[in-house]
Amino acid sequence: MILMTTPIHLIYAGGTFGSHGTPLSPLPADVFLPILTERLAEQNYHIRVLDNDVIKDSSTLTPTEFVHFYRIILDAYATGVRRFVLLTGTDTLSFLAAFLAHALADLPDISLVITGSMQPLFIPELVDYQINKDSDAWTNLSDALGVASKHTGVYVQFYHKSLIANNTQKINSQIHDAFDGVVATFDNANHHAVPSTAIEHKINELANLQTRASTTHIHAIYALPNATDILAQSISQAAANACAIILIGYGAGNLPSSLAIIHAIDDAIARGVRIICTTMCPFGGTNSNYAAGAWQYEHGIWAAGTLSIAGIYGQALWLSLNDKLSDTHWTITP
């Protein structure tokens, strides 16, 4: 428990944290938030809730909703709010966190911590909303509030770990220790940074971002030991309406090579589609040590290095919405 004098603004977006019933589904804000805020007040947490009407299972989130949460944060920032905690579902938590990390990178005085839980805060079967003592929800929220009260930056907080928001990944679908990524090394050099002059421009661009979000498509293609024509067809089909393709290769980013695959890649890149190669392995990242991986980079594919799939998606989405995905000076941010 910590005593907070500066309020932290909470955004409740649904997810397992606020879910109830069998099967689980997110409780409405007018049911869940009064109970949650009362519990937080009992523990001396100074919390204010930001209005949000997008409350759902995070597996159904799209770029349009990502921009929606970005708008909520920007609007609050413009009124002087600097400290935020966002509660969302774990399925797309890493994707949303990576997007927001890039979207808010030029606001040096902001504190945003994204968290959720693997078990709901309340016992699902009980109608009187009793706290689930086996849940990780309260611990994750308490830790997130602590980080938001002390540090600037954008982070994911989960199972006592503070992770850099632009490079995390959900690696387990069952246990509390469900996320991995780059552990945050806190630097409070910007703790008293002046408000960013970028805010007016960012707010003016919101309408354009929301319009583009509805037509922005990023595809992922998973390498499987099929005939090479299958991979070539998948790339060609994805390139028809994608702004970016994430190729999820073997090992260090290895992929089969054929004339059909090379032609599909060359054609996609010529059409302005950015292709980024990553690996299906949860750890280790990509490299060009093997001929089976190195050949693709001669055709304009970019290597993700140690950046997670969610991290690639979040960065690519932000750049695409800002019409910067084709910028030849863009590099993957690990």
> Token pair for residue 214?
């509805």
pLDDT score of 188 more than 80: no
Q: Whose CA is closest to 309, among 257, 269, 267, 249? A: 249
The percentage of residues in the chain with a pLDDT greater than 70, rounded to a whole number, is 93
Lowest mean pLDDT among 182-191, 195-204, 222-231: 182-191
Distance CA 109, CA 36 (A): 27
Token pair listed for 290:
């093997």
Mean pLDDT of the residues in the chain: 93
Lowest-confidence region among 126-130, 244-248, 308-312 = 126-130
Q: How many CB atoms lie within 10 A of CB 127?
A: 9
DSSP-derived 3-state class of residue 154: strand
Taken in order 76, 82, 87, 91, the sign of the CA dihedral is positive
pLDDT level of residue 187 (50, 70, 90 thresholds): confident
The pLDDT of 298-310, averaged and rounded, is 95
Name the segment(s) of the chain with CATH classification 3.40.50.1170: 8-209
Segments of the chain assigned to CATH 3.40.50.40: 218-329
Confidence of residue 195 (pLDDT cuts 50, 70, 90): low
Structure confidence at residue 3 (pLDDT):
43
pLDDT at 117 over 80: yes
Confidence label for 198 from pLDDT (cuts 50, 70 and 90): confident
Cβ neighbours around 55 below 10 Å, total: 18
pLDDT bracket for residue 21 (50, 70, 90):
very high
Give the model's confidence band at 197: pLDDT under 50 very low, under 70 low, under 90 confident, else very high. confident
Region class of 109: left (phi > 0), else alpha (psi between -120 and 50), else beta? alpha
Q: Find the angle CA(322)-CA(240)-CA(66) to the nearest 5 degrees.
A: 35
CATH of region 218-329: 3.40.50.40
DSSP code at position 122: B
pLDDT at 193: 60
**Is the pLDDT confidence value at 147 over 90?**
yes
Mean pLDDT of 233-237: 98
Stated pTM of the model: 0.94
pLDDT of residue 334: 45
| Residue 170 in tokens | 């959900």
- CATH number given to 8-209: 3.40.50.1170
Q: Which residue has the tokens 């005939």?
A: 227
Query: Residue 290 — pLDDT band, cuts 50, 70, 90?
Result: very high
Whole-angstrom distance, CA of residue 309 vs CA of residue 208: 26
CA distances from 66 to 7, 13, 206, 248 (A): 24, 11, 12, 23
Closest CA to 116 of 135, 98, 131: 135
Q: Which two tokens stand for residue 312?
A: 């690639």
Angle, helices 309-321/63-78, rounded to nearest 10 degrees: 70
What confidence score (pLDDT) does residue 308 get?
A: 96
